[in-house]
Homo-oligomer: A and B are copies of this chain.
Amino acid sequence: MAFFTNKDISELNHIYKINMVNSLSGYKSANLIGTKSNEGKENVAVFSSVIHLGSNPPILGFIVRPTTVPRDTYKNIKETGYYTINHIAESFIKNAHHTSAKYNSEISEFDMTELIATYLDDFKAPFISQSPIKIAMKYIEEYHIKANNVIMIVGEIQSVTIEEGLLQEDGFIDLSKGNIAAINGLDGYTIPSLKTRQGYQRPKNQ
């Protein structure tokens, strides 16, 4: 058994600390966020912080760290108001993860990987052609999280394109049918298989 206090964690070396704390929330979503600047420069970057905020209206959030390094994703979203969220599948994990390399703004990650930009229905931001779930997003608002100096971007789903075979009769999307990845820590990838659906729970007799 391993035990760490807050003070122990603060004294860990940088790499050990970020590996550990990034694993502590549990499995994370694996998405590529696509944007385009007003000047037409495309950008794509891997994010593991996309979360569901609500279904009615359909709202997703994600976290950016705009204050530490240049973040084209954030800049482009603020400029244009639009972005895409694309699920990462097994066949392009390596290319997806490589978008975390710190390229200059002039370089498009689409040119440095085998990821293919595609446009659907005149939406302004690029989708990732290979992705089994492609979501068009509109920026709504943002929150500056003071405790860590990060920003939560909140956006509304404008449209969803889901590959054949994933969507079930009751609306459930079986992510494992699309070989969609989950992220463990900073750089661990898994391709889960659906094990069980537990259904809606009602109180037992007391």
A116 contacts chain B at the CB level, 8 A cutoff: no
A36 contacts chain B at the CB level, 8 A cutoff: no
Which residues of chain B are near A161, meaning CB under 8 Å? 1-3
When all copies of this chain in the complex are counted, the total is 2
CB contact between A58 and one of B6, B31, B158 (< 8 Å): that residue:
B6
A122 contacts chain B at the CB level, 8 A cutoff: no
Interface 1/0 per residue, A172-189 and B, CB below 8 Å: 111110001110111111
CB contact between A27 and one of B4, B16, B28, B170 (< 8 Å): that residue:
B28
Given A17-B56, A147-B140, A182-B182, are A133 and B24 neighbors across the interface (CB < 8 Å)? yes
Question: Are A52 and B28 in touch, CB under 8 angstroms?
Answer: yes
- Chain A 72-106 interface residues, beta-carbon cutoff 8 Å to B: 87, 90, 93-94, 97-103
- Scoring A19, A52, A141, A192 by chain B CB atoms within 10 A of each residue's CB, the highest score goes to A52
CB contact between A195 and one of B147, B190, B204 (< 8 Å): that residue:
B190
- Chain A 122-150 interface residues, beta-carbon cutoff 8 Å to B: 133, 135, 140-141, 143, 145-150
For the complex formed, measure the closest distance between the CB of A174 and the CB atoms of chain B, giving whole angstroms: 7
For the complex formed, measure the closest distance between the CB of A161 and the CB atoms of chain B, giving whole angstroms: 5
Which residues of chain B are near A101, meaning CB under 8 Å? 201-204
8 tightest Cβ-Cβ pairs between the two chains A and B: A26-B29, A54-B148, A16-B171, A19-B171, A23-B173, A27-B182, A190-B192, A21-B55
Q: List 29 A-B contacts (CB under 8 A).
A: A1-B162, A2-B166, A4-B160, A6-B58, A17-B171, A19-B168, A20-B160, A20-B171, A21-B52, A21-B54, A21-B55, A26-B31, A26-B87, A26-B180, A54-B148, A57-B147, A59-B147, A59-B148, A94-B198, A99-B201, A100-B200, A101-B203, A101-B204, A141-B147, A174-B188, A188-B194, A189-B197, A190-B192, A192-B192
